[in-house]
Structure 1
Amino acid sequence: MSAIFNFQSLLTVILLLICTCAYIRSLAPSILDRNKTGLLGIFWKCARIESRLELQ
């Protein structure tokens, strides 16, 4: 069964995406910061979500 159809697997995939984007942004912030709009902007938004959750 695909991760899209299983709710727990979908949440796991989303969490891994957010953590991966935050890790990439910590190593090389210029890669994600130059793509704030468009299709690649999703990765910038995921990194931003993680950085805001980290402060709480």
Structure 2
Amino acid sequence: MSALFNFKALLQVLLLLICSCTYIHTQWPSILDRYKAHGVYGAFWKMARIGERASPYVSLACIIMAVNQLNS
């Protein structure tokens, strides 16, 4: 089933995107900073900002998702 139609899979994809964008932004900030206001690439920059500012909540959500994935 596609991740668009399965809510659990959609949440996993969003969490992985946030974590990946945050990691890329901490390692190579210039890659995402040059696309702040450019449509789709700007969304990746915004996901990186969410990951940086809400990192305890994002990491907690990743832990909960991992435990949920191991239990199912």
TM-score tier, shorter chain, comes to over 0.9
Residue number in structure 1 paired with 2:13: 13
- Partners of 1:43 and 1:15 in 2: CA distance: 12
Q: CA, structure 1 residues 14+55, in 2 after alignment: closer, same or farther (shift >3 Å)?
A: closer
- Partners of 2:3 and 2:55 in 1: CA distance: 26
Is there any run of 5+ residues in structure 1 with no aligned partner, and where?
none
Partner of 1:49: helix, strand, or coil?
A: helix
Extract structure 1 runs of 4+ deviating beyond 2 A. none
| Structure index of larger Rg | 2
Residue number in structure 1 paired with 2:35: 35
Which structure exhibits the higher relative contact order, with contacts defined as CA atoms closer than 8 Å and separated by 6 or more residues? 1
Q: Which has the higher helix share?
A: 2
- Partners of 1:53 and 1:36 in 2: CA distance: 19
Percent of aligned positions that are identical? 59
Number of equivalent positions = 56
Following superposition, the deviation at residue 16 of structure 1 comes to: 0.2
